[in-house]
Structure 1
Amino acid sequence: MPVMVLRSLNPPRLMNGTRCIVTKAMRNLIEVKIASGPFKDEKHLIQRNRLQPSDTALPFTFQRQQFPLRPCFSLTINKAQGQSLRVVGLDLRSQVFTHGMLYVALSRTGRRNDVYILAEDGMTPNVVYSEVLN
């Protein structure tokens, strides 16, 4: 399963936003393989983190455990910035914030044939706020 690391665990290898593939899941550990970038195919073990709220107004303390991972079947344009991808699929049925974001999304792969776009009538509006440009 593809996952994204939610906090920096082992910089620069496992950082917030690193995409990985789960190769083995155990009760307290998950083995992942980095999916892309300079450390591609490196395997790492990720353990559960204990979290305890800092709210001291409660008359009791509690804690929970969770893996710092999130399923990652897709990326936002912001999270994709700086990533190199083999294939990119864009859903442009709703507007991207600025034309700069569209450029970032389109430039994640090096080949035009590896970009697939879903847009109504094959068009998307180019949003430019002229008051910001002045």
Structure 2
Amino acid sequence: MKDPHFFQDRAILAPTLEAVEMINIYMLEMIAAPEHEYLSSDSALRSDEDSEIQGEWFTTEFLNDTKSSGMPNHKLLLKVGTPIMLLRNIDQAAGLCNGTRLIVNELGEHFIGATVITGTNVNDKVHILRMDLVPSDSKFPIKFRRRQFPIAICFAMTINKSQGQTLSQVGLFLPRPVFTHGQLYVALSRVRSRKCLKLCILDEGGKQQTSTVNVVFKEVFGNV
């Protein structure tokens, strides 16, 4: 934990946000440092006139409990030494883009100080502020605004989020089989060598297994 570069090119991958969050909470509890809690301010947005779902129907408590891919949670628990990932482009010229990973080194009341560990600006020290964020998924049924730090803890990340990254060490956690075409291939191809990959495969009862299902949509090969 004292070496900020330890997390530079290693990660745990999982197929779902629920599995990722479970791992991140477990790992955060292992850090022997004071914990700081950051809560978001959530508000509903006016819906389109032809929308069947109106923003004024939703309470603040309901919005606080709402989770969406690419959005930070209402409650962020952080400790110094925690690896985090940016969920939005902040300053592309400075290398602060969606997917950039950092290590937390300062927890202020209105800012988070961190050191960049991936990309072109490794070792740069930056301050991250709260932003007004709206779910980027156009199919998401609720329109709301969340003012929160645009980050997520990233001891673990989803397989989809790891696309395009090359890592030296990967742990693949599969509490259930992958559910989309090519997802297993993406996870296994993050490393260059088989010895750098470890898998934990569980069945529905939580017992360890030695194999898993590889989901392939054979229709995509019809015209190959």
Is the structural similarity TM-score above 0.5?
yes
1:4 — aligned with what?
A: 85
Q: How do 1:28-67 and structure 2 match up within 5 A? A: 28-50=110-132, 65-67=147-149
Say if 2:200 is the partner of 1:114.
Answer: no
1:80 aligns with 2:162: yes
1:70 counterpart = 2:152: yes
Q: Deviations over 1:69-96 (max 9, x none)?
A: 1222211111001112221011234122
Distance 2:184 2:220 in 1: 18
1:77/1:101 contact within 8 Å kept: yes
AA aligned opposite 2:85: M
Counterpart secondary structure, 2:109? coil
Q: Please provide the CA RMSD for this pair.
A: 2.4
| Structure 1: tracts of 5 or more residues without a match | 53-62
Task: Compare 118-127 and 97-106 and name the one that shifted more.
Answer: 97-106
Give the Cα separation in 1 of the matches to 2:131 and 2:219. 45
Percent identical residues? 44
3-state SS of paired residue (2:161)? helix
Letter in 2 for 1:9: I
Alpha carbons 1:25, 1:31 under 8 Å: kept? yes
Residue 133 (structure 1) aligns with: 221
Pairs aligned (count) = 124
Deviation per residue, 1:14-52 (Å, 9 max, x gap): 111211111111112211112223322222111122569
User: In the alignment, residue 131 of structure 1 is paired with which amino acid?
Assistant: E
Structure 1 stretch displaced more, 104-113 or 42-51: 42-51
**How much does 1:10 deviate?**
0.6
Question: Which of 169, 178, 201 is matched with 1:96 structurally?
Answer: 178
Aligned-partner Cα distance in 1 for 2:121–2:111: 20
Distance 1:93 1:51 in 2: 31
Instruction: Work out whether residues 88 and 97 of structure 2, in 8 Å CA contact, stay in contact via their aligned partners in 1.
Output: yes
Cα distance in 2 for partners of 1:67, 1:5 equals: 9
Q: TM-score, normalised by structure 2?
A: 0.49
Cα displacement (A) at 1:8: 0.5
Matched to 2:177, the amino acid is Q
Contact in 1 for aligned 2:181/2:217 (Cα 8 Å): no
Letter of the aligned partner of 2:210 in structure 1? G
* Aligned with 2:97 (options 15, 21, 35): 15
Higher relative contact order (CA 8 A, sep 6+): 2
